[in-house]
Amino acid sequence: MGSLMNLLMNGNFYIVISIGTFACYLFLSSCFISIPRDEKVIRYLRMILTALLCWTMGSMLMRLQISPGAAFWYQFSMLGLFIIPIAVYGFLFCVLEITGKTKLLNVCMLLTLAVFILNAFTGCLLPVPEMQVLPDGTIFYVYHPRGGMWLWIAAEIVLIVYVTVLAHNKIGTRYEYRRKLGPLLLGILLLFAGNVCCLLPWGKNLSLDALGGVCMAVCLVYVIYKQYLFSFSSRIIAGVVYFTAAIVAFLPILFFDWNMNHILSVQMKGFDRQTIIVFVIAQCLWCVLILAFAKKRVEYTLLQKKKYIVDHLTEFQDEVTSVVSKKILYQMIRDTLSAAVTGSHVHIIEEEEGHFTDYTENGRQLLTGEVEAQIRGFCNSDRIYKDPAAAVFKYDNQVYGFLYVELYRKNRFIYDEVDCIRQIGNSVSGVLKSIHAYEKLYQVSIHDGLTGLYNWNYCRECLEKLDIRIHTAGMIYLDIDNFKLYNDLYGESTGDEVLHWVAEQMRKLADEDTQVFRVGGNEFLIIMPDNRKDNLISFAKQLQTVMLETTKDKPKVIQLITLSIGIACDILIAENATELFRQARQASFYAKENGKNCIEVYEKEDLEEKKQDNEKWYNQVSPTIFSLMAAIDAKDSFTFDHSENVSKYAERLAMKLGLPKEDIQTARVAGLLHDIGKIGIQDDILKKKGKLTKEEYEVIKTHVEKSVEMIRFLPHMNYVIPAVLSHHERYDGKGYPNGIKGKEIPILGRILAVCDSFDAMVSRRAYKEKLSVEYAIGELENGKGTQFDPDVAQAFIELVEEDPSFIKR
């Protein structure tokens, strides 16, 4: 074997081309040698590169006349050349998702191997080429094809046409696939044509096979780039490192070859078999070290390059599983992709009731017209699954939407960005299924089962979140007049029909920004994004008109269905949304007291007038109140004394807290009436000396509702109902009858709770002796924040400390 460097330095053009082609494919193989993925399309890509590398390496080593000889390396290159088309077809079938062709590929592979073996032993297709040396020392090879070769070429042409037809039918009108995959077929055709030309007489002196190989390499790189199979920048980095490592690993061999004559002439006596073995072992160790170093550098470089995207993706996947809100989920998607894919804008599209909606940071935007038509066409085609900028939200074999990343930068997507988009889409699909299930349950939990309106629990939640200083809001409180009559005269089913019909009229009249709640048995609340009094009154009048004039589906009752309506909208006299709600409800009570079927607005200038009206009404009904008190006294003197004490304590405590005069009067009256419902409790339970059973305690608890029902029959006294109804509620929400908590409990209810509990402790009852004031004060201290409002309890304690004489002993 001649010196390798001598062959190169002699100017052998064919050898230079062969080495260049081999270097080209060696570099490509180096780029993709460290791909961690094991997808089918990647396996076929590796197969293509391996076959091309075998072909070019065999051709190069044949021309270099490397041992074991030109014949061996020729057969080696032929094996690679025969396998290239099959690998390309397999790659094409995977990319286009052409199924059912595995058997065809296997048959072709077996036939190829059989023909290769037959040709290797008989030369029936293409025997080993004849080497010719020109006078200038240039070496070239002359091929002598036989008849079998032309049959093989004809078979390959048929196979190329067949695969092209399959690809054409599969691609159809998806022209982007033609642009992406067309060059792959062109590359195999050029490679095929270049090798065929070398068999012809006029092509024997031209290196057309190598030129076809270069064209194939260019086409393959183009297809990989367009198919987003990899991050090209990352693959080039890997290719440069591994290619450089291969050259460095080969340097000792070049050095040995360059200095072989000198070594053999000078050290012939010591250059024996052992020396060669040592050199081979050293070369192997050197290659292993270089490869290990190259692998470490590639992994470090690629990790640093991917770390930014991977960190964002990992954080998203860790947090997304606990998300139960679609709004939060979509914002997380926008934040993650905006950070991972620079220079981009994220669109999140979801199909709802046959229409597409774009979920933006500012809320939902309904897509219409040409935009919706384009999106529908995009969704109905396979493009939505193939577009690297899109990821589908799909579960239970149904598509619910997709995300689309729009690039504003000039650079295209890199593979890691496309992979990030797809992984987010996969993660979101599973989370969306959980969110939709949760939303169904949540919607059931926040809606009233009878009317379909939002329920009281959700109303409380909304009142807590609503900041009336930031968001404009007006409230309308509605009470169906004489509702108890519908149940009494027609039965509860008719009463339910009335409730459902009234709720339906409210829902029809309200726009999408208006919320309607059922907050009581026959009471409703409407929260509107408008605090202009005239607009709220106009809306309330429309409701009254609808109630009187609408006949469709109206329950068949003789009485007119009317509403007593209260309006509150002045944030100057309301601290928060809960206070505004209380004012609207109070205005509704005033409307009912003024004869029902009317509208009252809670305004500052009306407070004094209403206070005077309350005093007048109280004077009118006071005989009735004291008659009821006398009835209580006759039934249970303890309750009579207790009511008087609570009334006095509540009045003083309301004054201590600086409440308006009308609230002080309401506290006094509510204190007298808070237990009148005990008239309806059996004597054996009310006067029982021992501990009440669980069932008996449940009966005692009904005195609250009984008190409210009795107050409703007192003219113009509805304004005390909130205080009476809530005097057994606890600050921690564990009280009764409604289980409300904190500031949701009306202030007068919190006052009565303290006064009621204190007097119950310091008074003698049938079942206990009275306790000391000091003990009762201690219990108030212990109950702060749990049973009692801390501020109200502290005010009462201070009241006792300032003037102990007002406590009845």
Name the CA dihedral angle for 312, 317, 321, 323, rounded to a multiple of 10 degrees: 20
Given a cut of 70, whether residue 727 has pLDDT beyond it is yes
What local confidence, expressed as pLDDT, does residue 619 receive? 63
d(CA 78, CA 131): 17
Are both 416 and 455 inside the same structural domain? no
Same structural domain for residues 340 and 284?
Answer: no
Confidence of residue 101 (pLDDT cuts 50, 70, 90): confident
Residue 520 class from Cβ within 10 Å (0-12 exposed, 13-18 middle, 19+ buried)? Answer: middle
List pLDDT tens digits, range 737-794: 888 888 888 899 999 999 999 988 888 776 667 888 899 999 999 999 999 999 999 9
DSSP states along 437-455:
HHHHHHHHHHB-TTT-SB-
Instruction: Answer yes or no: do 290 and 354 share one domain.
Output: no
- Using DSSP, state whether 344 is helix, strand or coil: strand
Distance from the Cα of residue 725 to its chain's centroid = 43
Give me the mean pLDDT over the 670-677 stretch: 86
Closest CA to 727 of 780, 776, 664, 671: 671
CATH number, residue 370: 3.30.450.40
Alpha helices, DSSP H, located in 64-174: 70-96, 102-122, 147-171
Q: Rounded to the nearest 5°, which phi and psi values hold at 229? A: -70, -30
Helix (H) or strand (E) segment spanning residue 435: helix 415-446
Containing 524, the helix (H) or strand (E) segment is strand 523-528
CA distance 52 to 191: 10
The Cβ of residue 337 has, within 10 Å, a number of other Cβ atoms equal to 23
Mean pLDDT for all residues in the chain? 80
Q: Verify that 214 and 242 share a domain, yes or no.
A: no
Return the structure tokens found at 418: 């496309």
Provide the Cα torsion 741, 742, 747, 751; round to 10°. Answer: 80
441 or 567: whose pLDDT is higher? 567
Q: Helix axis angle, 147-171 relative to 70-96, nearest 10°?
A: 20
Range from 113-122, 622-631, 682-691, 798-807 carrying the lowest mean pLDDT: 622-631
Residues 293 and 267 in one domain: yes
The pLDDT of residue 11: 43
Range of the domain at 124: 4-230
Instruction: Convert 255-268 to b/e letters by CB count within 10 Å (16 or more is b).
Output: eebeeeeeeeeeee
Q: Report the alpha-carbon distance of residue 741 to residue 486 in Å, rounded.
A: 32
Q: How many domains does the chain have?
A: 5
Per-state percent for the chain, helix, strand, coil, to nearest 5: 65, 10, 25
403 and 462 in one domain? Answer: no
Residue 111 covered by a domain: yes
- Cis geometry, peptide bond prior to residue 252 (ω within 30 degrees of 0): no
Decide if 731 contacts 782 (C-beta within 8 A).
no
Q: Is residue 269 exposed (0-12), middle (13-18) or buried (19+ Cβ within 10 Å)?
A: exposed
Are residues 520 and 528 in contact, defined by beta-carbon separation less than 8 angstroms?
Answer: no
Q: What is the pLDDT, as a whole number, of residue 110?
A: 92
Q: Is residue 618 part of a domain?
A: yes
**Domain-located, residue 314:** no
| Tokens 């329950």 -> residue | 555
Q: Which residue, among 151, 154, 150, 128, has the nearest Cα to 141 in the 3D structure? A: 128
CA contacts within 13 A on the Cβ side of 233: 13
In 3D, which of 607, 597, 582 has the Cα closest to residue 519? 582
Q: What percent of the chain stands above pLDDT 70?
A: 82
Measured CA angle at 460 (ends 459, 465), to 5 deg: 95
Residue 516's DSSP bridge partners are: 526
Q: The domain that contains 46 carries what CATH number?
A: 1.20.1070.10
DSSP class of residue 564 equals E
The total of other beta-carbon atoms located within 10 Å of residue 519's CB is 21
C-alpha closest to that of 414 among 320, 502, 309: 309
Q: What CATH number has the domain bearing residue 593?
A: 3.30.70.270
Q: How far apart are CA 617 and CA 716, in angstroms?
A: 6
H/E element, 243: helix 232-258
Q: Is the pLDDT of residue 10 over 60?
A: no
The phi and psi torsions of 528 (rounded to 5 degrees) equal -115, 150
The answer to whether residue 393 sits within a structural domain is yes
Q: How far apart are CA 752 and CA 668, in angstroms?
A: 10
Query: Tokens representing 388?
Result: 């690297």
Query: What is the end-to-end Cα distance of the chain in Å, rounded?
Result: 125
398 pairs with which residues across the strands?
Answer: 395
CA dist 742 → 457, 562, 755 (Å) = 14, 33, 17
- Candidates 162, 124, 120; CA nearest to 146 is 124
Same domain (yes/no): 517, 655? no
The verdict on residue 15 lying in a domain is: yes
**Is 540 found in the same domain as 425?**
no
On whether residue 81 sits in a domain, the answer given is yes
Last residue of a domain, one of 602, 629, 663: 602
Q: Are 714 and 623 in contact (CB under 8 A)?
A: no
Task: Identify whether residues 520 and 632 lie together within a single domain.
Answer: no
Phi and psi at residue 242, in whole multiples of 5°? -70, -35
**pLDDT score at 586:** 84
22 and 71 within one domain: yes
The residues facing 352 across adjacent strands are 355
Please compute the mean of the pLDDT values over residues 573-594 and round it to a whole number. Answer: 86
Q: What is the pLDDT of residue 299?
A: 62
Mean pLDDT for the stretch of residues 430-456: 87
Same domain, 471 and 617: no
Look at residues 779, 764, 719, 782 and name the one whose alpha carbon lies nearest to residue 746.
719
**Bridge-partner residues for 393, per DSSP?**
401
Question: What is the 8-class DSSP label of residue 522?
Answer: S
Highest-scoring range by mean pLDDT, 299-313, 328-342, 445-459? 445-459
Structure-block tokens of residue 516: 């309607």
Phi/psi at 348 (5° precision): -120, 110
CA distances from residue 544 to 211, 398, 530, 567 in whole angstroms, order as listed: 89, 45, 19, 14
Residue 321 in any domain: the answer is: no
Long-range (24+ apart) CB contacts under 8 A made by 55-59 are 55/80, 55/81, 55/84, 55/213, 56/18, 56/21, 56/22, 56/24, 56/25, 56/80, 56/210, 56/213, 57/22, 59/18, 59/21, 59/22, 59/209, 59/210
- Residue located via tokens 């606990």: 322
Amino acid at position 783, single letter = G
What is the average per-residue pLDDT within 343-364? 81
User: pTM of this prediction?
Assistant: 0.48
Q: How do strand 523-528 and strand 515-518 relate by DSSP bridges? A: antiparallel
Look at 338 and 755; give whichever has higher pLDDT: 755
Lowest mean pLDDT among 132-136, 203-207, 623-627: 203-207
CA distance 709 to 729: 18
Query: Which tokens go with 237?
Result: 């980095």
| β-bridge partners, 355 | 352
Q: Is the residue at 58 inside a domain? A: yes
**Whether residue 596 is found in the same domain as residue 618:** no
**740 vs 171, more confident:** 740
Residue 563, SS3 per DSSP: strand
Q: Which of 441, 468, 498 is the last residue of a domain?
A: 441
Question: What is the average pLDDT across 284-306?
Answer: 70
Contact 350, 357 (CB under 8 A): yes
Tell me: the pLDDT tens digits for 532-571? 999 999 999 999 999 988 888 888 877 789 999 999 998 8
pLDDT at 703: 85
Last residue of a domain, one of 198, 230, 262: 230
